[in-house]
Amino acid sequence: MKKPPARPSAPSKTPTDTPPGDRIAKVLSRAGIASRREAERMIEEGRVTVNGETIASPALNVTDKDRITVDGKPLEAPEAPRMWMYHKPAGLVTTTKDEQGRETIFDKLPEDLPRVMTVGRLDLNSEGLLLLTNDGGIKRKLELPSTGWLRRYRVRVNGKPTEEMLKPLRDGITVDGQTFQPMQVELDRQQGSNAWLTVGLREGKNREIRRAMSDIGLTVNRLIRISYGPFQLGQMKVGEVVELRGRIVRDQLGLEGAKTTRPEPSRRRKPRPIPDKSRRTRN
* Percentage, residues of the chain above pLDDT 90: 51
Does residue 130 share a domain with residue 252?
A: yes
pLDDT at residue 187, rounded to an integer: 96
Long-range contacts of 213-216 (CB under 8 A, 24+ apart): 213/155, 213/157, 213/169, 214/175, 215/168, 215/173, 215/175, 216/161, 216/165, 216/166, 216/168, 216/169, 216/173
pLDDT in tens, 70-104: 999 998 776 778 899 999 999 999 988 888 889 99
The model's confidence at residue 20, banded by pLDDT at 50, 70 and 90, is confident
Tell whether 47 and 171 lie within a shared domain: no
Flag whether the pTM goes above 0.75.
no
Q: Residue 270 and residue 111: Cα distance in Å, rounded?
A: 11
Same domain, 125 and 265: yes
Task: Give Cα separations from 108 to 230, 231, 244 (angstroms).
Answer: 25, 21, 19
Pick the catalytic residue from 66, 107, 123, 215: 123
For residues 2-6, give the mean pLDDT: 52
Tell me the percentage of the chain whose pLDDT exceeds 70: 83
Residues 66 and 48 in one domain: yes
In this prediction, residue 22 carries a pLDDT of 85
Domain count across the chain:
3
Read off the CATH number of the domain in which 255 is found.
3.30.70.580
Q: Please report, as a single letter, which amino acid is at residue 48.
A: V
Q: Per residue in 134-178, pLDDT tens? A: 888 888 888 887 777 899 999 999 999 999 999 999 999 999 999
Q: Which of 25-34, 215-224, 262-271 has the highest mean pLDDT?
A: 215-224
Condensed to tens digits (0 to 9), the pLDDT of residues 188-211 reads 999 999 999 999 998 878 899 999
Domain endpoint, select from 206, 228, 250:
228
> What's the domain range around 49?
19-74
Position 158 scores a pLDDT of 97
Claim to verify: residue 94 and residue 136 sit in the same structural domain: yes
Structure confidence at residue 263 (pLDDT): 38
- What is the per-residue pLDDT for 257? 40
Residue 247 in this model has a pLDDT that exceeds 80: yes
Q: Could you confirm whether 135 is annotated as catalytic?
A: no
